[in-house]
Structure 1
Amino acid sequence: MKKYLFNPYVLCLVAFASLTSCSNSNKNTSRATGWQINSKEGGFQYNTNFKEQETAPGLVFLEGGTFVRGKVQDDVMHDWNNTPTQQHVQSFYMDETEVTNKMYMEYLDYLKSVYPPDDPAYANIYQGALPDTLVWRNRLGYNEVMTNNYLRHPAYAEYPVVGVNWVQAVQFSEWRTDRVNELMLEREGYLAKNSKYAVVNGETQGTFSTETYLNSPENVYGGQIDSLQGKAKRDSTNVFAKRSSGIIMPSYRLPTETEWEYAATALVGTREYNNYRGRKKYPWEGEYTRSGKRKNRGDQLANFKQGKGDYGGIAGWSDDSADITAQVKSYPPNDWGLYDMAGNVAEWVADVYRPIVDDEANDFNYYRGNVYMKTSIGEDGKVDIVGRDGIKYDTLSNGRIVARDLPGEIAMVPINENDTYLRTNFDRSDNRDYRDGDKGSTRYYDMFSDDGELDDSKRMYNAPENKIERDSLGNIIKQIDESNSRTTLINDEVRVYKGGSWRDRAYWLDPAQRRYLPQYMATDYIGFRCAMSRVGSKAKEKKTPRH
């Protein structure tokens, strides 16, 4: 009689393989119908192997949580407009550094290649994206070296871009989204290798738009996407990627004010168990702007104006190594790993400015500025794609012309009463003045009156209304509001900017400080950085036992 010896290691291997097989089988079998998911024969296709969101280029992950937003330091400006409120922020990603000149130059190069300025149909696209280099000029200062060199000279390549208004920052973020998703699709085999260069090199007349790809992929690249398909996907069931593929990244965007303040304050470094240890005056610990560490004791921790006529200190070891802006990463990062969250340049955020934060209405992902839009559907029932002759431009209040939608993108329109009928969470498209500045917020409002309109003198925010019009020849006519009855500069097109800059004193380095400018204005001290929402789990790593 034969005796069989059983190796315990072999048994473990067989058991593990069996469990793995069962696991793979289960996740590809529908718990709703029992049908196979991702079957080669067809049926429901879904990315069952997705683990978590990939960190996109340039970004740092920030785990969300609760914190007290608002000013707790001395309010020497006497404009207590950011009173402390407890808020909760979802996990998100933010740029490690401010957007640099080199990053923005890549954007300009793309626009110039794809939409040549000498083509009459595209004349205003490139011009509308150009930073205003004249912001460096001063009536009593010689700054022409920055006017002529700061944006383009390689000596300033890794310096933060300035002269960019809020609208331009938003459009850069949209462009960046498309370029990154184009790269992701190429990497995963949905697009042929180096297809991302086809548009720039003039090999195809169309361009790539993320939303167009998701809603009407056959119209991407001017309808020539078939020639740019990845070989591995041509005969596959998954010819095009979808949101359910888990490959398409969420949009790059400007951070909300709450996100920015949460990121800059970086209380994660002072966390003890389930509490924060004290408050922080700056993005770093301590009450001073100089380092107390033995290795670099006395070094400035940010680039800011130290006093009247003092933009960097006395030349030598004790200065901040910058007179205007500084190269990014010149100073230590905060506890999130983010650089220059104080000093260097102030930064645009997404929010419309209002003096108060209405935490009674919301304390979760607080943001003022929502304008809900939807895709435009044509008479044929298909989405409207912006064509060469369908580009629409906005004329900003200062006369600058910017493209609203680029060719190849989906046209967007405001939601209407059919979309909001019997809804309780929103009832209109434009919510920028919700509960603060709309006619229902003023003490003069009478909801039962026949005429719901209010004259300008009784509105809560009756900022000047400068108008831009064009005559029959297309010439711009500027009409400045010279009324003496205006009581504020606040309207729905002023945006918050946060953080101190190279022009600011240390007071403005406090992450809770907030200021505002019209969204069409650009300066030599405001830049920006991008953010991206986190999808899926709150944390990237599983929680470990405390003991």
Structure 2
Amino acid sequence: MAYKMNWKNFAILLSCAALFGSCKDGKLFGKKKAKSDVTGWNYNDKNQGGYQVALEKEQPSGPGLVFVQGGTFTMGATEEDVMSDWNNIPRRVTVNSFYIDKTEVANVHYREYLYWINTVFDGDEYQAVRNGALPDTLVWRSELAYNEPMVEYYFRHPAYNNYPVVGVTWKQANDFCLWRTDRVNELALIQKGFINDKSIKNVSGIGQENFNTKSYLLGEFQATPGKGARSKNNPLKNPNGTPRTNVTFEDGILLPNYRLPTEAEWEYAALGYVNQNPMPTKNDKKRGEELVTNKQVYSWSQNVNGLRDTRRGSWQGTFLANFKRGAGDNMGVAGGLNDNAVYTAPVNSFYPNGFGLYNMSGNVSEWVADVYRPLSSTDENDVASYRGNHFQTIDMTTGKPERDSLGRIKYRYVTDEEAKKRRNYQKGDVINYLDGDSLLAGVSYGYGKTTLISDHSRVIKGGSWDDRAYWLSPGTRRFLEEEQSASTVGFRCAMDRVGSAAGNGRKSGIEYKQRKQNNRKK
């Protein structure tokens, strides 16, 4: 019996050896290496050219962001235009999926940004850079109000750490987004061992030599590799099969840029319609239905009256946003305050909307990316609507990309000569496209003479602590010059979604199971 068992064990060992032997030439337990569907050559095979292809992977959510599944909605006013602006005429548009901050950017976040700038750019030659990033605390001043305590304490005192930053211009908000992109991607490379972790301790006074995502990808920023990059377990390989120390965007490690949301994205996210549509199950056996409430007034509501309550009605009558109820009433009566905030409130206060976003109505109005035009609804595309494009390209004057004094890659604007033979656009600056200037030479808005609207006017959305309820509707819109700021205006960041628009774990398109077709016999 024992003799027979030994022969049996020996047979098993022989079969295992044969199985492991099949690992040669790209096979592993019967699975072959990925190969090209168009050439048949293996991917990631040093013996067949070494073309490296990362495994398909989902986009992770960046710090502070919430995934917003895109869709179609009615953008614009959903109640009577009592201001007679005629600048938010309802229209159907489609928004691609994207990410947006769960809350407004707070004082503590912006102070973190200033700390980094003051540390990295501490030389006298960078004094203008440091000063240019400071928020304008004087926005709290008023000729007939005692607001000096807010001027002195609001931005710096720890009691206001979690309150929304204000006094920030559109340009400053945009720069914050650029900085945030680089810090998030730099940390991702450090955590995965592709950049030496000691570089974090040596940022004081490095100025131009700070990490910038685009500079890194173009090879203009030389990072000191970390342990992970030098390890034989490094999953990134050169064509010859040796570990690769530099990361490319194709590897799926770096995130897309943080940026300001477009007006369409912001308004869509504010409405939070996702709660009103049955979502598909994870196995996609049940698809969602196209149910859209086009008359929703506020970001927190689930019906046309703006009411939201539990089964027992315990929330009825309470404030769901920070706003001004009426003349002279910014927070109610002592002992029974209605919103507990005379000015701003913490960024995570009040009830979140359908996407889990806080203060999309009230607290502070928010900068969005778009240049303001009263009739944007009649001009812009019905998919990914946005006005403000002034196309750029990398400046190759010296024959290669170069960095500016802040460590960022230099760009230049696309010229009309370069664009004139294209079919999809013929000018580099298309901010005024279909708005007069591109059709009639010399036509302009006459800023400061006949209007306050210019190519530097940016849209603000959402209403603030000092606004009546009308301005809290996501469809309302106003504008402010991008160099200006206010005590009622803050911002939040957004990020592009790459890959499936349905979200992680769900493929784009609809896949149907393949069924064998019975061939009819003639």
Q: TM-score range by the shorter chain?
A: 0.7 to 0.9
SS at match of 2:184: helix
**Code of the aligned partner of 1:69:** M
Cα distance in 1 for residues equivalent to 2:198 and 2:44: 28
* CA offset digits 1:133-161 (Å, max 9, x no partner): 00001111111111011111110000000
Aligned position for 2:284? none
Aligned position for 1:357? 376
**Code of the aligned partner of 2:475:** A
**Code of the aligned partner of 1:298:** G
State the shift of 1:384 in Å.
1.8
Cα distance in 2 for residues equivalent to 1:358 and 1:142: 41
State the shift of 1:205 in Å.
6.9
Correspondence 1:123 to 2:134: no
State the shift of 1:275 in Å.
2.0
TM-score by length of 1: 0.80
Given that residues 416 and 428 in structure 2 are in contact (C-alpha distance below 8 angstroms), is that contact kept between their aligned partners in structure 1? Answer: no
SS at match of 1:102: helix
Given that residues 298 and 318 in structure 1 are in contact (C-alpha distance below 8 angstroms), is that contact kept between their aligned partners in structure 2? Answer: no
2:226 to 227, 230, 246: 230
TM-score by length of 2: 0.84
SS at match of 2:209: coil
Cα distance in 2 for residues equivalent to 1:430 and 1:22: 57
1:174 to 161, 167, 178: 178
SS at match of 1:370: coil
Cα distance in 1 for residues equivalent to 2:190 and 2:296: 44
Correspondence 1:496 to 2:436: no
State the shift of 1:36 in Å.
3.1
**Code of the aligned partner of 1:105:** R
Given that residues 311 and 503 in structure 1 are in contact (C-alpha distance below 8 angstroms), is that contact kept between their aligned partners in structure 2? Answer: yes
State the shift of 1:45 in Å.
4.7
Aligned position for 1:396? none
**Code of the aligned partner of 2:418:** D
Cα distance in 2 for residues equivalent to 1:62 and 1:433: 30
SS at match of 1:247: coil
**Code of the aligned partner of 2:292:** Y
1:183 to 181, 184, 187: 187
SS at match of 1:276: coil
Aligned ranges for residues 318-337 of structure 1 at < 5 Å?
319-337=338-356
Cα distance in 2 for residues equivalent to 1:428 and 1:77: 35
Given that residues 352 and 359 in structure 2 are in contact (C-alpha distance below 8 angstroms), is that contact kept between their aligned partners in structure 1? Answer: yes
SS at match of 2:421: coil
1:531 to 494, 502, 515: 494
Aligned position for 2:32? 25
* CA offset digits 1:460-518 (Å, max 9, x no partner): 51213xxxxxxxxxxxxxxxxxxxxx211111000000011000000101000000011
Aligned position for 2:421? 422
Aligned position for 1:449? none
* CA offset digits 1:83-131 (Å, max 9, x no partner): 1111111100000000000000000000000111xx3310100100000
State the shift of 1:47 in Å.
4.4
Correspondence 1:73 to 2:79: yes
Identical residues among aligned pairs (%): 44
Greater shift in the superposed pair: 285-294 or 298-307: 285-294
1:206 to 205, 209, 228: 209
Cα distance in 1 for residues equivalent to 2:466 and 2:51: 55
Given that residues 296 and 306 in structure 2 are in contact (C-alpha distance below 8 angstroms), is that contact kept between their aligned partners in structure 1? Answer: no
Aligned ranges for residues 78-477 of structure 1 at < 5 Å?
78-116=84-122, 119-200=123-204, 206-216=209-219, 219-220=220-221, 223=222, 225=223, 228-234=224-230, 237=238, 238-271=244-277, 273-277=289-293, 279-285=295-301, 286=303, 292-293=309-310, 294-317=313-336, 319-359=338-378, 362-379=381-398, 381-387=399-405, 406=406, 408-417=407-416, 419-440=418-439, 445=440, 453-454=441-442, 459-464=443-448
SS at match of 1:349: strand
Tell me the number of residue pairs that the alignment of Structure 1 and Structure 2 aligns: 472
Cα distance in 1 for residues equivalent to 2:48 and 2:142: 67
State the shift of 1:315 in Å.
2.6
Given that residues 463 and 490 in structure 1 are in contact (C-alpha distance below 8 angstroms), is that contact kept between their aligned partners in structure 2? Answer: yes
**Code of the aligned partner of 1:351:** D
Given that residues 120 and 206 in structure 2 are in contact (C-alpha distance below 8 angstroms), is that contact kept between their aligned partners in structure 1? Answer: no
* CA offset digits 1:300-335 (Å, max 9, x no partner): 000000111100112334511111000111111000
* CA offset digits 1:22-65 (Å, max 9, x no partner): 796342x2333333322357944544323210000000000111
Cα distance in 2 for residues equivalent to 1:378 and 1:98: 39
Correspondence 1:37 to 2:37: no
Given that residues 300 and 351 in structure 2 are in contact (C-alpha distance below 8 angstroms), is that contact kept between their aligned partners in structure 1? Answer: no
**Code of the aligned partner of 1:52:** E
Aligned position for 2:506? 542
Aligned position for 2:469? 506
Cα distance in 2 for residues equivalent to 1:57 and 1:158: 16
Cα distance in 1 for residues equivalent to 2:264 and 2:83: 21
Cα distance in 2 for residues equivalent to 1:318 and 1:298: 12
Cα distance in 2 for residues equivalent to 1:182 and 1:492: 34
* CA offset digits 1:202-256 (Å, max 9, x no partner): 579710111111112xx32xx5x2xx21133247532211111111111000000
Gaps of 5+ in 2: 232-236, 239-243, 279-288, 512-522
SS at match of 1:275: coil
Aligned position for 1:469? none
SS at match of 2:62: coil
Given that residues 69 and 87 in structure 1 are in contact (C-alpha distance below 8 angstroms), is that contact kept between their aligned partners in structure 2? Answer: yes
Structure 1 residues 22 and 346: alpha-carbon distance in aligned structure 2, compared to 1, 3 A threshold = farther
Given that residues 295 and 304 in structure 2 are in contact (C-alpha distance below 8 angstroms), is that contact kept between their aligned partners in structure 1? Answer: no
Cα distance in 2 for residues equivalent to 1:366 and 1:255: 11
**Code of the aligned partner of 1:132:** D
RMSD: 2.9
State the shift of 1:298 in Å.
2.4
Given that residues 57 and 252 in structure 2 are in contact (C-alpha distance below 8 angstroms), is that contact kept between their aligned partners in structure 1? Answer: no
Greater shift in the superposed pair: 78-87 or 229-238: 229-238
Structure 1 residues 71 and 320: alpha-carbon distance in aligned structure 2, compared to 1, 3 A threshold = same
Given that residues 292 and 298 in structure 1 are in contact (C-alpha distance below 8 angstroms), is that contact kept between their aligned partners in structure 2? Answer: no
Cα distance in 2 for residues equivalent to 1:370 and 1:23: 51
SS at match of 1:140: coil
